[in-house]
Structure 1
């Protein structure tokens, strides 16, 4: 039998047929308008096989990509596994994307069908029409239209068959599509299932709670695949709800939770309770916890937060996790690489740096196949793929320091990416979109620190004419931007300036811009527009 994600699921269903595969809590069910409860592996496999048969009868299969705009609903995973059985790939769609972003995604990905929430069908149709693309868009309840192109016969399905095309922001402005194979997902599950230490997984017994989105690699590859490999249950929330979080943890009987750095910061602001340690959680898996909150959180809530490092491009093949003591809590330490991973820290000239000195993190798989388990390529961008792999190392763009004991500590991001609540935001993409506003002559966007979200977006704007009412104009620009971009990309701060730092070739000097933005953050010229940044109705 071919080795695919579907075949792994099929084997797990045979070993643990009655185990819960996915659980929907009442709060999530109410928000989504679906039934609460659990789906066993046997029940899930039956529904997956039914979907696969329907897709196949409609002509979908190997070589096809299908967009999924289904939020964190169980149906997302069922469609993914059904399509994987046929050798088709999915394009997970962030439900916060607006028309311009959807239009690019549809055109660039070559998707041949989109399965969407009813509330977003019109948006996808409009986005497709902007590129004159005849893309069928249906809801999960509708029958599949016949495929416009025949499935390919590329040989037997296996580890190297494409499984998903995930988009990630980069420094060039437009998101890059990471081609991910069955091998990528298969190894992600194997890695997590066997990494051990404080992150040990008990086969057939784990219940993993995650509020992270299925259109990101963490929830889709790391969490879901670990659960499938070990016969556990995944509890996927619609998103993180601070005030009901611990109720969800207790009700779900979660043994593991996944987090982003923003979550511990928010949870620590809640009133202390005698119920804080009333749960079954053994550990949290995530990244970016505020250094000063790491130890207080573990003391208060009674379980370790295991800091890890990975990227969409690296998957688990170069993942590093602080799952063994000492963890050097409070130092942004994410552990030490295993024997399967090669790591090199270099300066701006590409020369190795000694311990105690910050350098860019370069990674690869140890052994004869340095790209094992990584993404296959950036779709339709071979130049970017090879640039990322310059000199045989994957260049992460992250600045890291190795201490005298050999442990790695995260410092900052070298790349021009703003990291807000776990979302990567390319400054260039925001600049290009806002540049279209009629009042703006030029614009530069930078990250500024946020105690809860890590980064927030600041826009330094040069207008054609001096604004008579700066606050009103700033709010007008932000409200307009919300129609063009996902809400999290829109500026939370606006400053009208006479000039921005430029190089001799009129490119933005990002280092100086960041320093200027930081200095302006507390100034009277800085207009706070965070109150306008709200998730749009879907």
Structure 2
């Protein structure tokens, strides 16, 4: 008997709680997307999913194929995912901030057989498919599915039932496709349902609100699967709106919420009101809050923010969570690994200790249980992160004498801006194509609101002035997602390199920290805005 699927897990919950609210759309989100506001029950959702699944079957799509979804944070994203899952197809979620070249890479790599997109992006996705040399129909959201052009399936990894292929940035430039199985998602929901302490859930009708992208692992694997597992209702906003956030929380009836570090910072910057505690939230679950604001936030708004650690690759196989006291609020504490997780902290010399790179695996006979199944078309990278039977996270962590763990820094050369992972190499590769740039190096610098910001050190070919910097940034916005463009540009005479011309990343980090306060550095953050749909 095969392992259960995401769809079967949902269908079981729909059978148990048919009349409960499943997905909720608030009026402000409905207005943004031009869809209906209100709730749909588990039974109503099941009916729509089964209707979509029948369309998929009749159109000739088959098990083992992939469908690409660019539906932003619309609730139908989840329904189409469940429908494709019911028919044995995997989904490839698309970040709507990606531009044509980025989508073309994903399409060429993932080889989807059909794509459903918001209407405004259909032509661009069709152009991306053409550029990638992939024959697939791209249809606007709401249109009937066209007949499949092929019945060929893709072998992702023998023995694993793939549910989604999520792309995550790394240090090699191009994003990697993480193969996520049905079991990956089911384990995530079950982990959350079994969690104790501060972030414990019940089956009495939880209501969660999230402003995070539902095409990322956090919302797909934790927000969505947690609510499915306990029979709760999920309210997904189109995005985070600080000024209307608490009204949305109240209107949704949320009992819990998900956050990233930038959110508490922005909310603490808003004027205090008598409604700050007028809500039903018991806890927030997330990561990256500014330690200096952590205690003040909890005091002001009246609920705990539970800091946790996980990655797309680790899923629920190795979650570390500060969900029980003492939580050491305000110290970057991520809690303790429970009995299901084994950890090591390894220094640069490969020696175990209480400070170093975090290595994790699932306890028991299957060390990869709950983890991703591997990087698609990249077994070498998969083997590299699983050296010696341990998953190498690239994150630096320290451990106190009582076993409490604290996040320190990222070892990998990844810039994390407002929850988005940005590979410096990818940005450098794009910028290097600009005619005004002779050489370029990119690094992360701290940003009090967004965690990290992109800083570009540029050896210019010609003028080195503010006008050139703005032109470079504006051009970059046409090549990459807006958040990857430089937020700061410093024109320099040379870059720190070795005798073999290899970039010295550590020296670059020191240099950018110094240049951040240099009056000659040009601030281009105001240009970094989402492109209109």
**Short-chain TM bin:** over 0.9
CA deviation vs aligned residue, 1:150-184 (integer Å, no higher than 9, x gap): 16599xxx993100000000000100000000000
Matching residue of 2:388? 391
* Deviation string, structure 1 residues 232-286 (Cα, Å, up to 9, x no partner): 0000000000000000000111000100000000000000111100100000000
Instruction: Tell me what 1:91 maps to.
Output: 92
How far apart are the structure 2 equivalents of 1:128 and 1:442? 31
Q: Residues 117-128 of structure 1 correspond to what in structure 2 (within 5 A)?
A: 117-128=118-129
Provide structure 2 residue ranges, at least 5 long, that are not aligned to the other structure. none
Tell me the distance in 2 between the aligned counterparts of 1:368 and 1:503: 45
How big is the shift at 1:140? 2.4
Corresponding position of 1:364: 361
Counterpart CA distance in 2 for 1:61 and 1:490 is 39
Residue 437 (str. 1) matches residue 428 (str. 2): no
Query: Alignment length, in residue pairs?
Result: 530
Contact 1:164 1:179 in 2 (8 A): yes
Distance 1:153 1:482 in 2: 33
Secondary structure of the residue aligned to 1:60 is coil
* Number of the residue aligned with 2:492: 497
1:277-332 CA distance string (max 9 Å, x none): 01000000000000000000000000000000000000011011100000011110
1:17: how far off?
Answer: 0.4
Deviation digits for residues 114-159 of structure 1 (CA, Å, limit 9, x no counterpart) = 10000000110111121232221001221211112216599xxx99
**Counterpart check, 1:276 vs 2:271:** no
Residue equivalent to 1:424? 421
Mapped partners of 1:223, 1:160: distance in 2: 23
| Alignment of 1:381 onto 2:382 | no
Contact 1:62 1:151 in 2 (8 A): no
**Structure 1 residues 480 and 214 mapped into 2: Cα distance closer, same or farther (>3 Å)?**
same
The separation in 2 between residues aligned to 1:168 and 1:386, in whole angstroms, is 17
Q: Which moved more, 1:500-509 or 1:471-480?
A: 500-509
* 1:332-381 deviations in Å (ceiling 9; x for gaps): 0010001110000000122102x3xx300000001111111100010000
Residues 445, 152 of structure 1: alpha-carbon distance in 2 compared, 3 angstrom cutoff? closer
Q: Distance in 1 between matches of 2:439 and 2:154?
A: 50
**Partners of 2:164 and 2:297 in 1: how far apart?**
35
CA distance in 1, matches of 2:129, 2:99: 12
Q: Which moved more, 1:143-152 or 1:112-121?
A: 143-152
Hey, what's the Cα distance between the residues in 1 that align with 2:297 and 2:152? 51
**1:283 and 1:304 in contact (8 A); partners too:** yes
Residue 398 of structure 2 aligns to a residue whose secondary structure is strand
In structure 2, the partner of 1:46 is: 47
Distance in structure 1 (CA, Å) of the matches to 2:376 and 2:114 = 18
Query: What is the Cα deviation at residue 506 of structure 1?
Result: 1.1
Q: Report the counterpart of residue 191 of structure 2 in structure 1.
A: 191
Aligned-partner SS, 2:337: coil
SS for the counterpart of 2:512 is helix
Secondary structure, counterpart of 1:223 in structure 2: helix
1:454 alignment counterpart:
451
Runs of 4+ more than 6 Å apart: none
User: After superposition, what is the alpha-carbon deviation per residue over 1:10-63, rounded to whole angstroms, capped at 9, x for unaligned?
Assistant: 110011000000000000000111010001000000000000000001111211
CA distance in 2, matches of 1:160, 1:436: 40
SS in 1 for 2:225: helix
Alignment of 1:140-159 (within 5 A): 140-150=141-151, 152=153
Which consecutive unaligned segments of at least 5 residues does structure 1 have?
A: none
- SS of 1:391's equivalent in the other structure is helix
Q: Which residue does the alignment assign to 2:117?
A: 116
Following TM superposition, by how much is the alpha carbon of 1:441 offset from its aligned partner in structure 2, in angstroms?
0.8
Does the Cα contact within 8 Å between 1:61 and 1:83 map onto a contact in 2?
no
Counterparts of 1:399-414 in structure 2 under 5 Å?
Answer: 399-414=396-411
- CA–CA distance in 1 between the matches of 2:33 and 2:512? 39
RMSD: 1.3
Contact 2:360–2:392 (Cα < 8 Å) also in 1: yes
Please say if 1:20 is aligned against 2:21. yes
